[in-house]
Amino acid sequence: MQNIRSNAEGVATIDVMAEGVTLGKGGLNDVASRAVVVHALPDDYRSHPRGTRAIGSPAG
């Protein structure tokens, strides 16, 4: 998913067509019971490809 930008008031609007996912079928691509995580800074898609480092956590 691409980075989503908000306006000066912190409001962002997005409309996504997610191909290749299912809802409630139990497969690896099932998005039921999943979450969308919002970060303060944009993702550079290189530094932490598994998403394992949060702001303030030690680099490893």
Higher confidence at residue 46 or residue 8? 8
Please state the pTM of the whole predicted model.
Answer: 0.40
Tell me the pLDDT tens digit for each residue of 15-43. 888 888 898 988 889 989 888 777 778 87
Token pair for residue 9? 């008031």
Residue 60, pLDDT score: 46
- Average pLDDT of the chain? 79
Long-range own/partner contacts, residues 2-10 (CB < 8 A, 24 or more apart):
3/42, 3/43, 5/42
6 closest CA partner among 35, 40, 43: 40
